[in-house]
Amino acid sequence: KTAAIVGCPFSGGQPKPGVDKGPIHLVEAGLISQLESLGWNVKFEGHHQFEDIKTNDDPPIGILKNPRLVSRVTESVARVVGEHVKKGELAVTLGGDHSLAMGTISGTLSTHPEACVVWVDAHADINTIESTESGNIHGMPVSFLLGLGNKVPEFSWVKPLLKPENLVYIGLRDVDAGEKALLRDNKIKAFSMHEVDRYGIGRVVEMALDHVNPNRDRPIHLSFDVDALDPTVAPSTGTPVRGGLTFREGHFICEAIYETGLLVALDLMEVNPSLEDEASVKQTVAVGCSLLRSGLGETLL
Ligand SMILES: N[C@](CCCC[B-](O)(O)O)(CCN1CCC(O)CC1)C(=O)O
Ligand SMILES: [Mn+2]
Ligand SMILES: [Mn+2]
Ligand SMILES: [Mn+2]
């Protein structure tokens, strides 16, 4: 079994410098040998070099920031992830900000249109060009994947390959008003931190998979934003929100999804090694590597 590491040093979907250094810190922490120790044949062709386009060639569209850059980068990521998934390799994308998921999930769905998406995040990342308050595209990838909101010509390459019934969220706790309406109107299943508290993570993962993968026969794309974890667990991330998943809850999700044997692609996003003190950075990077090991079969016994 082969895992392809897709290092995506990209920060254009949000304003804080440093998240583009996430991939290099994860790899330098020994991720590749850790995955090899789990029995994986790991392919890593170096971090992808994303050409930068000059900001003066990329004025905002409405309030969307770096739109042409984000579009171009995510389109190339879609191609890269799509190639790996098509070859039957487990595509492991290291972010970089979560706008990249527009690319990774497009890549997966182009090969497996019936794949389901488990989105683990404090945020819904479903803002449209009409609903976004920040213009930061890392808060919008899901709306593009679903084909919601007015079309943005610069993003015409993104096809609405994701169906609302094939998407489920775990960990939500900071959803904008416009996003709440979009979740309701599109009948999108979401297990917020309230449901995690009420049912426990075991039942939540079971119910989430029952919703998008009732017969456990569909490929799974897991898109994990480290800010789903409580900031005491993963402090070095751009949009921390209190009241998040514990270390174990985060790992349980990855372990349980690996156990299905259906995982075809995994994103680990929003590690920003420029934020907080050195101990926090080391902690966040270590948690990222640990989550990835769990997603690729590491077990406690
Ligand atoms: N929904 C946010 C955060 C997106 C986070 C993206 B990530 O990939 O990290 O999940 C938040 C916008 N919100 C605007 C009002 C403010 O008071 C608080 C933040 C946005 O910018 O759209
Ligand atoms: Mn590659
Ligand atoms: Mn996110
Ligand atoms: Mn988030």
Span 128-167, pLDDT tens digits: 999 999 999 999 999 999 999 989 999 999 999 999 999 9
Testing ligand 1's pocket by substitution, the residue of 97, 104, 121, 176 carrying the most ligand atoms inside 8 A of its CB is 176
Q: Is 267 in the pocket of ligand 1 (CB under 6 A)?
A: no
| Protein residue closest via CA to atom 20 of ligand 1 | 139
Q: How many CA atoms lie within 13 A of 19 on its CB side?
A: 25
Q: Listing from the earlier edge strand, what are the strands of the sheet with 2-7?
A: 41-44, 2-7, 90-94, 263-269, 220-225, 116-120, 167-172, 189-192
Residue-level pLDDT at 11: 97
Residue-level pLDDT at 71: 97
**Is the separation of the CB atoms in 193 and 172 below 8 Å?**
yes
Output the 3-class SS for 174-222.
CCCHHHHHHHHHCCCEEEEHHHHHHHCHHHHHHHHHHHHCCCCCCCEEE
Q: Is 84 helix (H, G, I), strand (E, B) or coil?
A: helix
Rounded to the nearest whole angstrom, what is the distance from the C-alpha of residue 192 to the centroid of ligand 4? 13
Testing ligand 1's pocket by substitution, the residue of 239, 241, 245, 270 carrying the most ligand atoms inside 8 A of its CB is 239
Q: What percent of the chain has pLDDT over 70?
A: 99
Residue-level pLDDT at 53: 66
What is the mean predicted confidence (pLDDT) over 36-45? 97
Going by pLDDT thresholds of 50, 70 and 90, the confidence category of residue 90 is very high
Going by pLDDT thresholds of 50, 70 and 90, the confidence category of residue 272 is very high
Six-digit token string for 246: 């514990």
What is the end-to-end Cα distance of the chain in Å, rounded?
Answer: 21
> Minimal CA–CA distance to 100: which of 250, 284, 224?
224
Q: Is 99 in the pocket of ligand 1 (CB under 6 A)?
A: no
Please give the Cα distance from 60 to 25 (Å, whole number): 30
What is the mean predicted confidence (pLDDT) over 41-60? 86
| Protein residue closest via CA to atom 4 of ligand 1 | 139
Q: Is 141 in the pocket of ligand 1 (CB under 6 A)?
A: no
Q: Active-site residues: which are they? A: 98, 121, 123, 125, 138, 225, 227, 270
Please give the Cα distance from 280 to 210 (Å, whole number): 36
Residue-level pLDDT at 50: 85
Tens of pLDDT, residues 72-82: 999 999 999 99
Alpha carbon 262 to chain centroid, angstroms = 17
Six-digit token string for 200: 């426990």
Q: Answer yes or no: is pLDDT of 169 > 70.
A: yes
Six-digit token string for 133: 């308050």
**Is the separation of the CB atoms in 95 and 121 below 8 Å?**
no
Tens of pLDDT, residues 241-268: 999 999 999 999 999 999 999 999 999 9
Rounded to the nearest whole angstrom, what is the distance from the C-alpha of residue 99 to the centroid of ligand 3? 8
Q: Is 133 in the pocket of ligand 1 (CB under 6 A)?
A: yes
Going by pLDDT thresholds of 50, 70 and 90, the confidence category of residue 56 is confident
> Minimal CA–CA distance to 122: which of 13, 268, 229?
229
Please give the Cα distance from 160 to 246 (Å, whole number): 33
Q: Answer yes or no: is pLDDT of 55 > 90.
A: no
Rounded to the nearest whole angstrom, what is the distance from the C-alpha of residue 170 to the centroid of ligand 2? 29
Residues near ion ligand 4 (Cβ under 5 Å): 121-123, 225, 227
| Protein residue closest via CA to atom 10 of ligand 1 | 123
Alpha carbon 289 to chain centroid, angstroms = 15
Please give the Cα distance from 233 to 271 (Å, whole number): 12
> Minimal CA–CA distance to 107: which of 66, 76, 67?
76
Q: Which residues pair with 267 in a beta bridge?
A: 93, 223
Rounded to the nearest whole angstrom, what is the distance from the C-alpha of residue 240 to the centroid of ligand 2? 30
Tens of pLDDT, residues 184-220: 999 999 999 999 999 999 999 999 999 999 999 999 9
Name the average pLDDT for the chain: 97
Rounded to the nearest whole angstrom, what is the distance from the C-alpha of residue 300 to the centroid of ligand 4? 27
